[in-house]
Structure 1
C-alpha cells in the first residue's frame, strides 16, 4: 500500500512550481540579454561580413582596371629606342 503524506505532496508541488518559475525567469533573462546585445550591435553601426566581401571584390576589380590603364598608358608613351633604328 502507498501512504499519502500531504506534506510531501505539497513540497513536490512547491518544488515543481519553483522549477517552472526558474525556467521562465531564465528564458526571460535570455531574451533580455539578446535584446540588449542587438541594441548594442545596432548602436555600434557594425558592417556585415557579406558587405565587406563585396567591397573587397569591387576593390580588386578596380585595381585590375587601374593596372590595365597604367600599362596601356606606358605602352603609348614609351619613347622610341634609338638603337632599334640602326
Structure 2
C-alpha cells in the first residue's frame, strides 16, 4: 500500500498549476504577438502575383510603345531635315 505524503501531494499540485499557468501564458503571448503582427501588417497593401504580373505586362507594353513612338519621331525629324 502506498502512503500519501501531504508535502509531496502539495508539490505535485503546485507543479501542475505552474505547468498550466506557463501553458496559458505561452498561448497568451503567442496570440498577442500574432495580433500585433496583424496590426503592423494591416496598413501595408500587398498585391497578388496576378496583379503584379498584369501591371508588369502593362508597363512593358507602354515601354515598347514609347520606344516605337521615339523611333517614329526620330524618323519624321530626319525626314523633315531637322
Shorter-chain TM-score category?
Answer: 0.5 to 0.7
Q: Compute the RMSD of aligned alpha carbons.
A: 3.0
Q: Provide closer, same or farther for how the CA distance between residues 57 and 19 of structure 1 changes in structure 2, counting only shifts above 3 A.
A: farther
Query: Aligned with 1:14: secondary structure?
Result: helix
Q: Provide closer, same or farther for how the CA distance between residues 60 and 74 of structure 1 changes in structure 2, counting only shifts above 3 A.
A: same
Q: Provide closer, same or farther for how the CA distance between residues 21 and 66 of structure 1 changes in structure 2, counting only shifts above 3 A.
A: same
Cα separation, 2, equivalents of 1:60 and 1:3:
83
| Count of residue pairs the alignment pairs up | 79
Q: Which runs of 5+ in 2 are unaligned?
A: none
Report what 1:10 is aligned to: 10
The structural deviation recorded for 1:20 is 1.4
Structure 1 stretches (4+) deviating beyond 6 angstroms?
A: none
- Mark the structure with the bigger radius of gyration: 1
Report what 2:44 is aligned to: 46
Report what 2:28 is aligned to: 28
- Which TM-score applies when normalising by structure 1? 0.62
Cα separation, 2, equivalents of 1:47 and 1:57:
20
- Which TM-score applies when normalising by structure 2? 0.65
